[in-house]
Amino acid sequence: MLDAAILGAVLASIVAAATILLLASLGELVAERAGTLNLGVEGMMIVGAAVGYATAYGSGSLILGTIAAVLAGAALSLVFAGLAIWLAANQVASGLATTILGLGIAGLIGSPFVGTRLDAAPALYIPGLSDLPLIGRVVFGQDAFVYLSLILLGVVAYGLARTRTGLVLRAVGESHVAAHALGHPVRKIRTLAVMFGGACAGLAGAQLSLSYTPFWASDMTAGRGWIALALVVFSAWKPMWLLAGAYLFGAVSILQLHVQGFGLGIPSQLLSALPYLATVGALVVISALKRGQGAPASLGVPFVPDR
Amino acid sequence: MSDSAAGASAKPSALLEAVELTKRFGALVANDHVSLAIRAGETHALLGENGAGKSTLVKMMCGLLQPDSGELLYDDAPIMFPDPATSRAKGVGVVFQHFALFDALTVVENVALGLAGHEPLSALAERIRDCTVRYGLAVEPYRRVGELSVGERQRVEIVRCLLGDPRVLILDEPTSVLTPDESENLFRTVDLLTDEGRAVLFISHKLDEVRRLCHRATVLRGGKFIAEVDPKVETSSSLARLMVGAEVPRTPREVTHELGTPRLLIKDLNLVGDGSRGSALHDINLEIRAGEIVGIAGVAGNGQTALFEALSGERPASDPESIVIDTVPAGGLGPTQRRALKAGFVPEERLGHAAAPDMRLSDNVLLTTHGDGEIVRAGVVRHSVLNARFAEIVKRFDVRFGGKDPKARRLSGGNLQKFVIGREVLREPVLLVVDQPTWGVDAAAAGFIRTTLRQKAAEGCAILVISQDLDELLEFTDRIAVMCEGHLTAPVPVGETSREAIGLAMGGSQGGDAGTGGAHGH
Amino acid sequence: MAIRLERQETVPPLGLIAAPLLALLFTLVVGAVMFVLLGHDPLRAFTIYFIEPLTDPWTLQELVVKACPLLLIGIGLSFCYRANRWNIGAEGQYVVGALFGSWLALATHGTDAGPWVLPAMLVLACIGGALWGLIPAFLRVRFGCSEILTSLMLVYVAQLGLDYLVRGPWKDPAGFNFPQSVTFDAVAVVPLLMEEGRMHAGILIALVAVAAATFVLGRTLIGYSIELGGSAPRAAAFAGFDERRVTYGVFAVSGALAGLAGIIEVAGPIGQMQPSISPGYGFTAIIAAMLGRLHPVGVLVASFVLALTYIGGEAAQISMRMPFDVTRVFQGTLLISILAADVLVRYRIRRVEGASHA
């Protein structure tokens, strides 16, 4: 039987794994609500991980590393924005290009650091609360990334639904032609949304290399950027559903590790494949149920303003 | 029409004035030194054919486009509108033909997007309610725009403009999407607005309504200013001459030939709407015989597209017997099989439906001819035969374009439509279904297309024409049916119906059979 | 500041060739900057990267070896991308094809099976790759799932499947516990074309694929229906082409060709099954397809250009201790430049004064 301490540790690692997905998918959700499908999440995330690690290793400051990761993710997103928004190139191809470039750049930046280690980002300790049995560590013993992700989620959910900025952003994603006719700067808004997505992906990468697994390994994102993209579809473009999706996938990816540890005779590769199979399964279920409802109407359509 | 609104003062100065505006797109001069002055308290018509340059002029007057030369005067002072937000802030509101609306958002959100500032939505909803009461523009603030009818959507656009308290309101072809009843409603609103001293620019190519509603009219043709006239003293035909530049070509209609066997039989055709696109059809019945042209009138979005797709085979019917082409039950057949029965189809949308915009014209020939057996043999395209057919279409239907074989999107509307019609006609069909044959086509090409279709009918082809242009249907079809909310009235011979009767049926009024009006009308 | 794109009235025919060349040039400039940043003499780096491989007969053969899978996969992807179906999971279809083919090689290992083994392996690989490719096609047609995400997810699944087999049931019992299969028998190996070097008959199969694809795409109704479906889906439905059949068709073709590339690689240069059988060919082929403008002959040229980045990357890794990621940066930059150059050729970019809205 599991005792409470082990259970607490498992739950805490689920929260950490889910946070990476939540951060990345939250950023992508904003970009997609503005009408841009950025398949560059994986690339922006891993560049964030590499730059964050390199900066933190060099400066000794996790905060500086995190800031650098956020800036790097946003900077790489500008490559995508330049192609897909300002040159109106195909968004799928532009996103793929961003991911391929990102994987290469991250590899270059990270290669001197292979084999090194950092101290993981510390958990924030809240006297009293963090000592509560079982949920203490899960809820109140996480590092700053976890709380940041939840704050961001709240900000995005509120911002999209309740503020004028959110209204304009949604409008641009629904119909760039109409938004343009009303004088809203479609391409500027989309660029900012894509940059927000890049910053979030960079932040997710920082959590990965500074907290979740505090070392650098090439390809360490292992498809998490793609799963984040799938989560946006899964959420039907609603921020609060991202929370459910991210924690569900976080749970699948952690629990399969623990099942592997028990050695039940199931091939470990099959268990490792579970997050990917679950992603496909989730996409099937959500597509069968909703048939594309909730997707911004202009998603993926390049916008070329009138002459 | 209130005379006071026209302004009794002798020479009122202009509120908004375009002076010698010129706009070029590559080789095309869309506006060539065009001038136009709108005065406070007047309804000013901007008249012109499709392609005359009306939209370009409007876009320059509200900042969507920048003129290459010339200037705008506002209250007699030169002004620049770098973007629509600026013009809106200065009091120039525009309601475009293609609404700038967001289906997924509510009315109040849509309105908010058109206004500057951060007014709370609840306060804005109150203002919308006030405005709708004052100008007779019934619309509910918290409904989703995607659920609204076309007329309601237009009202949302107008309300959005009015909340900005504009001094000039520009309406771009506002009645083209309205039933006659809804149009009347709009005219009342326009009169209220001009009574308040606002100026309205009313863009149209419908002569009767311009003569009724407007105090002055500026006519454009081929991108040039032609005349400024008082529409009340002009006749419809004198206005038409100004607009078209010559006597309006009329299609000769003499039904001298005998009607033949039924080529198309629609029997209790039902289609379930599929939500996103494609409305439902209810119990459609129609018979078209060889040698006749039957027209279907109706306001856009009442099931015409669904009917077309049901006939073309893009949306097969569940009952094969519900569509019979030349005695063969065709309800369950796909487009290629229906073409094999010598049926031809011309959809409304030229780019993207009738033709692939980014493919060459010659490749677009293949789109509907690949099943005919000559051009494709054993799955292999015979390009020499294809090119010969392409050349024949171009020659016989006078399709004009630059280069040898351009992409479809580079052709003008009229030339592409001649190409699409020619492609079908050369297939020698016994049944031709044409959706909006002359929509957005210049007068010369439109005349040519109608004459061609008449001629085909005379040769024994059965033709179904779906059109929103009632004048066109009255001019060159033999019988007219009306489509409303997925229902089709029984067709009535053109001579036995009237514009009023059809108008009533288009609005879905009770007993709106196109024939009843004719009984006591004419 | 405002930038406006104006669609060119006519695209000069030269421009169609100029765009990829422009992209290459831009990539080289970016490469030079990268070399300098990495502290290398760009001239020397370029020589090692791009010139030396072309002067040595052995590396020229290697170039062909590397171009072969890129070419096969790239042709298949051209079918998909012309139809506007975004199969980005060719890497997985490559792996599954290799698994299907290898199964026969291992099943007949040590028996006196005749020369039918290799052809049968190739056919099996096509079937395996096609089946793996048909999964995202089915999910798209049946449920409306984005094929982009599902095809990519299946890459990871395929790789884990490969990993399981070579560490488990397929492991060579006499292999000192290394995760690899036995070496294939002679009848299960793709024959070499020359005595020296590694160039094998796979390239001939790839060239046949180029010819066949050129014919199908350019001359047949099938090719037309693919092009039309991708260019204007509604017009394709109006023309009477079944969108579902086109989706299944292009995924089957592209999966089969990727699977074929997989078995040719395993039964050719590698000679046995091992956990890693591709340096990302399935992804690099996406760039080959784009750079080749989705035309089989163009993909042929592009495959050799990209193969050169692999060979050059390996050379630079050895002689200059540069990380292999340089190659990925090159490839990513190349794809970005192609996309940008395409736009620059089709549109004229104009800076507009005064108009501040985008």
DSSP conformation letters of A94-151:
HHHHHHHHHHHHHHHHHGGGTT-B-PPPPBP--TTGGGSTTHHHHHHS-BHHHHHHHH
Where is pLDDT greater, at B444 or B464?
A: B464
Q: What is the pLDDT of residues A150-185, one digit of tens each?
A: 999 999 999 999 999 999 999 999 999 889 888 889
Chain C residues in contact with B100 by the CB 8 A cut-off are none
**Cβ atoms of residues B453 and B322 within 8 Å:** no
- Asked whether residue C196 falls in the same domain as residue C329, the answer is no
**Given pLDDT bands bounded at 50, 70 and 90, which one contains residue B72?**
very high
Span A208-220, mean pLDDT? 91
Q: Which residues of B385-403 are buried (b: 16+ CB within 10 A; e: fewer)?
A: ebeebbeebbeebebebee
Q: What is the pLDDT of residue B8?
A: 41
Q: Do A89 and C38 touch (CB under 8 A)?
A: no
pLDDT at residue B144 greater than cutoff 70: yes
Per-residue pLDDT, B260: 86
Cα B163 to its chain centre, rounded Å, is: 28
Task: Note the pTM of the prediction, 2 decimals.
Answer: 0.88
The predicted pLDDT at position C17 comes to 73
Residue of chain C with shortest Cα separation from B376: C221
Residues 6+ apart with CB under 8 A from C24: C305, C334, C337
Counting one residue from B and one from C, how many pairs have CB atoms under 8 Å apart? 87
Strands B479-484 and B293-297: parallel
Nearest CA in chain B to A293: B276
Q: In this model, does residue B241 exceed pLDDT 90?
A: no
Task: Spell out which residues of chain A touch residue B123, defining contact as CB-CB under 8 Å.
Answer: none
What is the predicted pLDDT for the residue at A53? 96
**Rg of the Cα atoms in chain A:** 19
User: Domain tally for chain C?
Assistant: 2
Would an 8 Å CB–CB cutoff place B352 in contact with chain C? yes
Burial class, B143, CB count within 10 angstroms (exposed 0-12 / middle 13-18 / buried 19+): middle
- Asked whether residue B254 carries a pLDDT value surpassing 80, the answer given is no
- Which residues contact residue C345 at a Cβ distance below 8 angstroms, ignoring those fewer than 6 apart? C8, C11, C15, C16, C18, C19, C22
CB–CB contact B379 C222 (8 Å): yes
Residue of A83, A98, A101, A274 to mutate, interface with C, max C Cβ within 10 Å: A101
Based on the domain organization, do C296 and C356 belong to the same domain? no
C49 found inside a domain = no
Judging contacts by C-beta atoms under 8 Å, the chain B residues touching residue A304 are none
As a whole number of angstroms, the distance between CA B284 and CA B187 comes to: 34
Query: What's the token pair of residue C340?
Result: 């940008």
In a domain, C118, yes or no: yes
CA dist., res. B391 & res. B387, Å (int): 6
- Angstroms from A284 CA to nearest CA on chain B: 20
Beta carbons within 8 Å of C229's beta carbon, 6+ residues apart = C83, C84, C236, C241, C243, C246
Nearest Cα of chain B lies from the Cα of C140 at a distance, in angstroms, of 18
Once rounded to an integer, what is the mean pLDDT over residues A11-27?
Answer: 94
Q: Does A304 touch chain B (CB under 8 A)?
A: no
Tell how strand B92-95 and strand B168-172 pair up.
Answer: parallel
- Whole-angstrom Cα distance, residue A89 to residue B108? 34
Is the CB of residue B444 less than 8 Å from the CB of residue B414?
yes
CB burial of B211-226 (b: ≥16 within 10 Å; e: otherwise) equals bebbbbbbbbbebebb
Strands B77-79 and B69-74: antiparallel
pLDDT at B489: 93
Res B318: pLDDT = 87
Which residues, at least 6 apart from A113, have a Cβ–Cβ distance to it below 8 Å?
Answer: A53, A54, A57, A215, A216
* Optimal mutation site among A44, A46, A100, A307, interface C, most CBs of chain C within 10 A: A100
Q: Is residue C131 part of a domain?
A: yes
Same domain membership, residue C349 and residue C251: no
CA distance B142 to B161: 18
With beta carbons less than 8 A apart as the criterion, state whether A209 and A216 touch.
Answer: yes
DSSP notation for B86-138: HHHHTTEEEE-SS----TTSBHHHHHHHTS-S---HHHHHHHHHHHHHHHT--
pLDDT of residue A291: 60
Q: Which two tokens stand for residue C245?
A: 């059949």
Average pLDDT over residues B69-78: 92
**What CATH number corresponds to the domain at position C288?**
1.10.3470
User: Cα(A167)–Cα(A164) distance, rounded to whole angstroms?
Assistant: 5
Chosen from B29, B61, B103, B113 to mutate, greatest number of chain A CBs within 10 A: B113
**Contact call for C9 and B402, based on CB within 8 A:** yes
Q: Which chains touch C (3 or more CB pairs under 8 A)?
A: A, B
Instruction: Kindly tell me if the per-residue pLDDT of A126 is higher than 50.
Output: yes
- How far is Cα C206 from Cα C73, in angstroms, rounded to an integer? 9
C41, two tokens: 């003499």
Distance CA B150, CA C167 (A): 65
Closest-approach residue (CA) in chain B for C352: B66
**Distance separating alpha carbons of residues C249 and C141, to the nearest angstrom:** 12
In a domain, C16, yes or no: yes
Indicate the DSSP class of residue B10: S
Which residues lie below 8 Å from residue C25, measured CB to CB, with a gap of 6+?
A: none
Q: Label residue B321 by pLDDT band (50, 70, 90).
A: very high
SS3 B437: coil
Looking at the structure, do residues C204 and C66 belong to the same domain, yes or no?
Answer: yes
Contact A71, A195 (CB under 8 A): no
Supply B491's token pair.
């067709």
Q: Please state, as a whole number, how many other Cβ atoms lie within 10 Å of the Cβ of residue C356.
A: 14
Q: Which residues of A touch B64 (CB under 8 A)?
A: 181, 306
Give the residue, A294 or A221, on which the prediction is more confident: A221
What is the structure's pLDDT at C194?
87
pLDDT in tens, B152-170: 888 898 998 889 889 999 9
Per-residue model confidence (pLDDT) at position A129: 63
C-beta separation of A47 from A225 below 8 A: no
- Give the three-class secondary structure for B479: strand
User: What was the pLDDT predicted at A307?
Assistant: 41
Q: What is the pLDDT of residue C12?
A: 59
- 10 Å Cβ neighbour count for A267? 17
Residue A304 exposed, middle or buried by CB count within 10 Å (0-12, 13-18, 19+): middle
Residue contact B353–C240, C-beta within 8 A: no
Q: Are residues C277 and C345 in the same domain?
A: no
Kindly list the residues from chain C whose CB atom is less than 8 angstroms away from the CB atom of residue A279. 149, 153
Q: For residue B306, what are the CA distances in angstroms to A91, B287, B465?
A: 32, 18, 14
* Domain span including residue C267: 55-318
Q: What is the CA radius of gyration of chain C?
A: 22
Closest-approach residue (CA) in chain A for B59:
A181
The tokens for B370 are: 């690949």
What is the Cα C300 distance to its own chain's centre?
11
Query: In this structure, what DSSP letter does residue C276 have?
Result: -
Domains and CATH numbers, chain B: 4-244 (3.40.50.300), 262-351+428-521 (3.40.50.300)
Find the angle CA(A81)-CA(C280)-CA(C217) to the nearest 5 degrees.
80
Show which of residues 130-169 on chain C sit within 8 Å of chain A, judged by CB atoms: 139, 143-146, 148-150, 152-154, 156-157, 160-161, 163-164, 167-168
Please check whether residues C25 and C132 belong to one and the same domain. Answer: no
In this structure, how many other beta carbons lie within 10 angstroms of the beta carbon of residue C11? 14
**C120 domain-assigned:** yes
Highest mean pLDDT among B131-140, B228-237, B239-248, C57-66: C57-66
Residue with tokens 């039987």: A1
Residue A231's pLDDT is: 94
Mean pLDDT to the nearest integer, B251-259: 63
Q: Which residues contact B147 (CB under 8 A, 6 or more apart)?
A: none
Residue C338 lies in a domain: yes
Would the CB atoms of C325 and A103 count as touching at under 8 Å? yes
Task: Among C303, C318, C333, identify where a domain stops.
Answer: C318
Query: Token match 């109140």: residue?
Result: A140
Tell me, yes or no, whether C328 and C299 share the same domain.
Answer: no
Asked whether A303 and C358 are in contact (CB, 8 A), the reply is: no
Chain B interface includes A79 (CB < 8 A): no
Q: Does B402 touch chain C (CB under 8 A)?
A: yes
Q: Does one domain contain both C29 and C11?
A: yes
Domains contained in chain A, CATH given: 4-290 (1.10.3470.10)
B458: closest CA of chain C, how far (Å): 27
ipTM of this model?
0.89
How many CB atoms within 10 Å of residue B287? Answer: 16
CB contact under 8 A, A87 and C339: yes
Sign (positive/negative) of CA torsion C190, C196, C199, C204?
Answer: negative
Statement to judge: residues C193 and C329 lie in one domain = no
Q: What is the per-residue DSSP string for C84-127?
A: T-----HHHHHHHHHHHHHHHHHHTTTS---TTHHHHHHHHHHH
- Test the B interface: residue of C217, C238, C244 with most B CBs within 10 Å: C238
Question: Residue A40: helix, strand or coil by DSSP?
Answer: coil
- pLDDT tens-digit profile, chain C (358 residues): 455 555 555 555 666 677 788 888 889 999 999 899 888 898 999 898 889 889 988 889 999 999 999 999 999 999 999 999 999 999 999 999 999 999 999 999 999 988 999 999 999 999 999 999 999 999 999 998 999 999 999 999 999 999 999 999 999 998 888 999 999 999 999 999 988 888 999 999 999 999 999 999 999 999 999 999 999 999 999 999 999 999 999 999 999 999 999 999 999 999 999 999 999 999 999 999 998 989 999 999 999 999 999 999 988 888 888 888 888 898 999 999 989 988 877 666 555 444 333 3
Assign B459 a pLDDT band (cuts: 50, 70, 90): very high
| Predicted pLDDT at B520 | 36
Nearest C-alpha in C relative to B386 = C219
Q: Looking at this protein, which amino acid is placed at residue A95?
A: G
Contact call for residues C122 and C161 (beta carbons, < 8 A): no
pLDDT tens for each residue of B352-404: 999 999 999 999 999 999 998 889 999 999 999 999 999 999 999 999 988 88
Q: Looking at the structure, do residues C62 and C101 belong to the same domain, yes or no?
A: yes
Cα–Cα distance measured from residue C78 to residue C76, given in angstroms and rounded to the nearest whole number? 5
The DSSP annotation for B21-58 comes to EEEEETTEEEEEEEEEEEETT-EEEEE--TTSSHHHHH
Q: Does the residue C47 lie in any domain?
A: no
Contact between residue A27 and residue A235 where contact means Cβ atoms under 8 Å apart: no
Q: Are residues C176 and C203 in the same domain?
A: yes
Rounded to an integer, the average pLDDT of B299-327 is 91
Do the domain assignments include residue C186?
yes
Residue C117: predicted pLDDT: 97
Task: Clarify whether residues C264 and C344 are in a common domain.
Answer: no
Would you say A299 and A32 are in contact if contact means Cβ atoms under 8 Å apart? yes
How confident is the model at residue B207, as a pLDDT?
A: 79
| DSSP code, position B212 | H
- The C-alpha atoms of residue A232 and residue A241 are separated, in whole angstroms, by 9
> Which tokens sit at C330?
């090159």
Arithmetic mean of pLDDT over chain B: 86
